[in-house]
Structure 1
Amino acid sequence: MTVLPEWIADPILRPAWDLVRTRFEKAGLDASGKVLLRPATRDERHAIGALLGRTITRETVRVDLATLDARLNERSGVGGLEAVLAALYGTRPEDRPAVRAARDASRERPLQRAAELVTATWASEWIAGLRRTGLLTNRVDSERTIRDAAAVLRELTDTEGAPIAQSRVELAARLLGDAHALDRDRRLHQVVLRGLAAAASIPVPDGTREREELWASRGVEPDLLSRTCLVWRLRVGTVEPPGRRLSDAADAGDPVHVTEWELRRIGSFAPAAGTRVLVCENPRVIEGMAERGVDGWAAVCTAGEPNLVVDKVLGNLTRAGADLYYHGDFDWPGIAIANRVITRFAARPCQMTADDYLHAVRPDGPALVGKQIEPLWDPELGAAMRSHGRAVHEESVLPLILDALTASQ
Structure 2
Amino acid sequence: MSTLPEWIAHPALKPTWERVATRLEQAGLVPEGSVRVRLASREERQAVGDLLGRTITREAVSVDLAALDRRLRERSGVGGLDAVLLRLGISLEDRPAARAAKTESRQRPLSIAAAAIHASWVPDWVAGLRRAGLLTNRDNAESIARNAALVLDDLTRSERRSQSRVELGARLLGDAHALDRDRLLHQVVIRGLAAAAGVPVPTGGRSREALWARFGVDPDLLSRTCLLWGLRLASDSPVAARLAAAAEAGDPVHVTEWDLRRTPRFIPAPDTRVLVCENPRVIEGLAENGVAGWAAVCTSGEPNLVVDKVLDQLARSDVELRYHGDFDWPGVAIANRAIDRYGVVPWRMTVDDYTRAVRADGLRLGEGVVEPVWDSELGAAMRSRDRVVHEESVLSELVDALASEP
TM range (shorter): over 0.9
In structure 2, relative to structure 1, the CA distance for the partners of 1:23 and 1:365 (3 Å cut) is closer
Instruction: Name the residue aligned to 2:369.
Output: 372
Task: Let me know the Cα RMSD of the aligned residues.
Answer: 2.0
Instruction: Name the residue aligned to 2:320.
Output: 323
Contact 2:276–2:323, Cα closer than 8 Å, also in 1: yes
Work out whether 1:280 is the aligned partner of 2:277.
Answer: yes
Q: Which moved more, 1:150-159 or 1:40-49?
A: 150-159
TM-score (norm 1): 0.93
**How many residues matched?**
406
Instruction: Name the residue aligned to 1:23.
Output: 23
Secondary structure of the residue aligned to 2:71 is: helix
TM-score (norm 2): 0.94
Work out whether 1:184 is the aligned partner of 2:181.
Answer: yes
Work out whether 1:70 is the aligned partner of 2:70.
Answer: yes
Distance 1:368 1:116 in 2: 50
Deviations 1:66-108 (A, max 9, x none): 11111111222221111112222353x2222222222222222
Contact 2:233–2:269, Cα closer than 8 Å, also in 1: no
Instruction: Name the residue aligned to 1:154.
Output: 153
Counterpart code for 1:98: A
Q: Which moved more, 1:399-408 or 1:330-339?
A: 399-408
Alignment of 1:137-152 (within 5 A): 137-152=136-151
In structure 2, relative to structure 1, the CA distance for the partners of 1:118 and 1:2 (3 Å cut) is farther
Distance 2:255 2:140 in 1: 40
Distance 1:300 1:380 in 2: 27
For structure 2, list consecutive stretches of 5 or more residues without a partner in the other structure: none
Q: CA deviation at 1:236?
A: 4.0
Work out whether 1:87 is the aligned partner of 2:84.
Answer: no
Contact 1:236–1:267, Cα closer than 8 Å, also in 2: no
Instruction: Name the residue aligned to 2:51.
Output: 51
Deviations 1:251-291 (A, max 9, x none): 22211112223322233333221011110011121122222
Task: Using the aligned pairs only, state the percent identity.
Answer: 65
Counterpart code for 2:48: I
In structure 2, relative to structure 1, the CA distance for the partners of 1:391 and 1:104 (3 Å cut) is closer
Alignment of 1:10-409 (within 5 A): 10-91=10-91, 93-160=92-159, 163-236=160-233, 241-409=238-406
Distance 1:276 1:74 in 2: 99
For structure 1, list consecutive stretches of 5 or more residues without a partner in the other structure: none
Q: CA deviation at 1:193?
A: 1.3
Deviations 1:10-47 (A, max 9, x none): 22212111111111111111111111122121000011
Q: CA deviation at 1:322?
A: 2.3
Counterpart code for 2:109: P
Secondary structure of the residue aligned to 2:401 is: helix
Counterpart code for 1:120: A
Distance 1:140 1:365 in 2: 49
